[in-house]
Amino acid sequence: WCVWDGQLIRLALPAAHDLWLDIKVLWTSPTASVFRVLDSVKDGIIVPNKDYQDDASLQQFAELVWFANLVTTEWENIPVKTLKRLEKLGLVARPNTRAVGLIQDRLTEKALASSSGWTPVPHKPVDTYEELMTYVDSLQPPCILKTRREGYDGKGQWRITEDMDLEVFWKKEFSKWSPP
């Protein structure tokens, strides 16, 4: 029972069906990639306007999968509020809501990795243009700047080069992404 409709669940569904597992998906539209492998619309609940916090859809999804009591997500950016709502409706989220919340912020994700004995790639938090200028000089471009939240599959990240006008970049590109 998956709370998302992207390519990973699309790839997992055929194998799940081969194992006689009944999969239900909270999905956004018939054009979502998962729709190509769903047996029919009965395999899921459509969320209106791609709003994963729509109470009626979440209630309907919870009623559809009540017998399993367990849901998962294949996307780390699912709103934590959505998972909390499903938990209030009696479902258990895996990975749990706290874990999903931690990995949604790249800085807390790296701190978690470090505290677990892993060594993440060198990184610095950048919240202001001045910090960007300081860190770019110390990192010696080319380097990569990523948003703390919401970026995935190459979205929310930029290659910084020596010849870039960073002030223009900061105002034009990076300002589109909300700060943490």
- Cβ–Cβ < 8 Å for 74, 56: no
Q: Which residues pair with 93 in a beta bridge?
A: 71
Number of helices (H), then strands (E), in the chain = 7, 6
Q: Which residues pair with 155 in a beta bridge?
A: none
Q: Is the pLDDT of residue 164 over 80?
A: yes
Q: String of b and e for 54-65 (b: at least 16 CB within 10 Å)?
A: beebbeebbebb
Average pLDDT over residues 69-80: 80
Comparison of pLDDT for 171 and 41, the residue scoring more = 171
Q: Is the pLDDT of residue 97 over 50?
A: yes
pLDDT category at 3 given cuts 50, 70, 90 is low
Question: Which tokens in the block code for residue 87?
Answer: 């938990």
What is the pTM for the complete model shown? 0.73
Percent of the chain with pLDDT over 90: 14
- Helix (H/G/I), strand (E/B), else coil: 98: helix
Give residue 12's identity as a one-letter amino acid code: A
Q: Which pLDDT score is estimated for 108? A: 92
Any residues with CB less than 8 A from the CB of 109 and at least 6 apart, and which?
102, 103
Comparison of pLDDT for 94 and 32, the residue scoring more = 94
